Chains A and B, each alone.
Chain A
Amino acid sequence: MTDAHTTGSHGTGPFIAAIDQGTTSSRCIVFDKDGRIVSVDQKEHEQIFPKPGWVEHDAAEIWTNVQEVVAGAISKAGITSADVKAIGITNQRETTLLWDRNTGEPVHNALVWQDTRTDALCKELGRNVGQDRFRRETGLPLASYFAGPKVRWLLDNVEGLRKRAERGEILFGTMDSWVIWNLTGGTDGGVHVTDVTNASRTLLMNLHSMQWDEKILQSMHIPAAVLPEIRSSAEVYGHAKGGVLDGIPVASALGDQQAALFGQTCFAQGEAKSTYGTGTFMLMNTGHTPVNSYNGLLTTVGYRVGDQKPVYALEGSIAVTGSLVQWMRDQMGLIKSAAEIETLASSVEDNGGAYFVPAFSGLFAPYWRPDARGVITGLTRYVTKAHIARAVLEATAWQTREISDAMTKDSGVELTALKVDGGMTSNNLLMQTLSDFLDAPVVRPMVAETTCLGAAYAAGLAVGFWPDTDALRANWRRAAEWTPRMDAATRDREYKSWLKAVERSMGWLDEDTVEE
């Protein structure tokens, strides 16, 4: 989407500006009171790969881009800062930065969530307990995604950093903290804060107290002096200093998946959203209690509005969904564009007996089997490339079903409807298949940009632009709904076959090679 929307029919404001500091780009979207998009600006930043498995971002470049896209979106909207009531922030989660509080200079590139350099460190930190050592307190397994081990790595590997950190000269933050600190003045009085959702991805915050956990800090050897203050997701942290939005309240922060949950207005217990991109992230609102997962899901904070009680969520992710379609296009050459997968898959009535388990880098939730690898099973001479295309789409739907089942087991709440967003929602066959496999309605909202919308909503709530979450619900519009058409017997039979296929993907790697 390169053009600014200039559909004319939204009034003259006021507006909310949402900044989405994402993994590949930074964006700013201006929303009106109905939650409609007024303008968009976007800029990509460099992905830095110093070694296999290492992924970094230049935080200074990111801050420059954020300033540019904010100015761009305001100018495309044809408005001034006087029309903007608040700024909301959403961000790539877990990406970790340390910077000098006196100069504002990062001490190292940011370590991106995908970066796996802390794998060995995480094993070491697990001691004799293993990866669930901090699960009770944090809701998370010890894994390289999360911020805490990345902080530890930087303190251990950047020369002299630990000393400076202990003297209080160094600040840590995920990208929300970095953007807010800079927006509110940086070295000139910038506020050093993070929100509960981002803090819940560090492995350092206690989910029950919503505070940094001192025992874990000691175990990970991280000085408390570097940590930002943990605040709610929707409150005024400070005011922008300088730039086109000088003086405007900075009033929300939410990790991207939590922001999508908020933007989809999943405010009631049991409501869930799933975002279909390269990979897929599904979150379910579990109300005011953190639900422990015994089925391979993460327990995380969904959001906290001001001084209200926090809302928790269960999260499950699928590593390979949209990227499987890309693989069919780029590596297999079976289709010319991603959208064509639907054309090919629609040319047959069913999968012809073929199942595709895309465990390209092992199986994630709910199995967590790094020894698994991708398989296509059930092949006969009858199977054509169209059946394989169908199996590709079904793989995404079955994996969603598995996560949904795990969520039901952990929370005791049945999924009543699934709200979807992301690029793959334009695939009608996939959405229908999803509804068939889940045996529940699948609903697509009218604003596809639910992540930015969530950040805008939270900021708007904080400054009274919207009175309460009911007003936000009233803004939610259904663009499409798919209802189940598959009979129970077929669904059960197919699910059994899928589970058999999943079994066949396991144990491919020998135990001693899994470490690689």
Chain B
Amino acid sequence: MAKNIQSLERAAAMLRLLAGGERRLGLSDISSSLGLAKGTAHGILRTLQHEGFVEQDAASGRYQLGAELLRLGNSYLDVHELRARALVWTDDLARSSGESVHLGVLHQHGILIVHHVFRPDDSRQVLEVGAMQPLHSTALGKVLSAYDPVAHSEAVEVERQAFTPRTVTGPEEFESLLDLIRARGWASDVEETWEGVAAVAAPVHDRRRMPVGAVAVTGAVERVCPGGELRPELIAAVRDCARAVSRDLGAGRF
């Protein structure tokens, strides 16, 4: 087994020290507690300070835990919060596109549908909230695989099943598809998961530009992709919707 990195171990020990007991400690307290030379301790503290994990009190010169640690712990976006923020925008997307809209997040090697807006006709439809979709073939799955490194490694590592003759399964083909998605900012699924069904998806980002989910419009291939071409206004509408949700989550304009 490889040897652990000593400076990281020392940094971790400092954070534990600052988290327990007396909250603010001076440089000499820290170095003596951990049995380090002052210079070594100071170097590590400066690095931690630069990353925001440690803050130095201006008046006393003592150190305490930084706000960034708190943010790390709270960075997880509640999917129900995501749905609440997306509600008006996804309603509007369904209304303007005339197709059904899904909001998905990465969950256990697949896409979990957290919100579903019916296609705005009078047909009987079943709410698909809670359903899972595959990562490698759906528009939602592919767009997240392109933007989220965790989704990417999961999509790449599993065996990609061919659901239809059009499903992309080969590793090189799949990677170049993701490159294209990243370059264009959206993904499509034209009968790659279900025969007769096509979809377009775009990523939703949070305030730190992390991909937290994706929005997709899904419908019959004849309507979404007439004559084999995806309707450009549909792509624009999906991307507008994803941007609007991202803005509501605090992401800057992009």
Contact = CB atoms under 8 A, between A and B. Distances in A.
B and A form one assembly? yes
Interface of A: 1, 3, 5, 7-10, 34, 36-37, 336-343, 423, 425-428, 446-448, 477-482
Measured as residues with beta carbon below 8 angstroms from the partner, the interface class of chain B is: 20 to 34
A339 B78 contact: yes
Contact of B127 (A1, A9, A480): A480
Nearest to B233: A9
A426 B129 contact: no
Contacts of B83: 339, 426, 428
Contacts of B92: 5, 7, 36-37
Contacts of A9: 96, 233, 237
Nearest to B91: A446
Interface of B: 74, 78-81, 83-84, 87-88, 91-92, 94-96, 115-118, 120, 122, 125, 127, 129, 233, 237, 240, 244, 247
A479 B80 contact: no
B135 to A, nearest CB: 23
A3 B89 CA distance: 11
Contact of A426 (B74, B84, B116, B237): B84
A340 B81 contact: yes
A134 B247 CA distance: 52
Given A340-B81, A448-B88, A480 B96 contact: no
A7 B240 contact: yes
Given A7-B240, A426-B84, A482-B127, A477 B95 contact: yes
A447 B78 contact: no
A428 B78 contact: no
A480 B233 contact: no
Contacts of A336: 74
Contacts of B127: 480-482
Contacts of B120: 446, 477-479
A343 B94 CA distance: 26
A479 B87 CA distance: 10
13 contacts: A3-B244, A7-B96, A9-B237, A338-B84, A339-B78, A339-B80, A340-B78, A342-B80, A427-B80, A428-B129, A448-B88, A448-B91, A479-B117
Nearest to B122: A478
Nearest to A1: B88
A426 to B, nearest CB: 4
B120 to A, nearest CB: 4
A37 B91 CA distance: 11
A446 B96 CA distance: 11
Contact of A343 (B80, B91, B125): B80
A399 B116 CA distance: 27
B80 A446 contact: no
Given A1-B88, A9-B233, A448-B88, A343 B78 contact: yes
A7 B88 contact: no
A481 B244 contact: no
Most chain A beta-carbon neighbours within 10 Å: one of B117, B233, B247 = B117
Given A9-B96, A481-B125, A337 B240 contact: no
Contacts of A448: 87-88, 91
Given A340-B81, A477-B120, A478-B118, A446 B87 contact: no
A101 B117 CA distance: 50
Contacts of A34: 95
Q: Which 4 A-B pairs have the closest CB atoms?
A: A339-B80, A477-B120, A339-B81, A342-B80
A447 B96 CA distance: 12
A8 B94 CA distance: 14
Contacts of A8: 96
Contacts of B87: 425-426, 448
A7 B118 contact: no
A427 B83 CA distance: 8
Contacts of A477: 94-95, 118, 120
Given A339-B83, A340-B80, A448-B91, 10 more contacts: A9-B96, A9-B237, A337-B81, A339-B81, A341-B80, A426-B80, A426-B87, A428-B129, A446-B91, A446-B117
Most chain B beta-carbon neighbours within 10 Å: one of A5, A336, A343, A480 = A480
B65 to A, nearest CB: 20
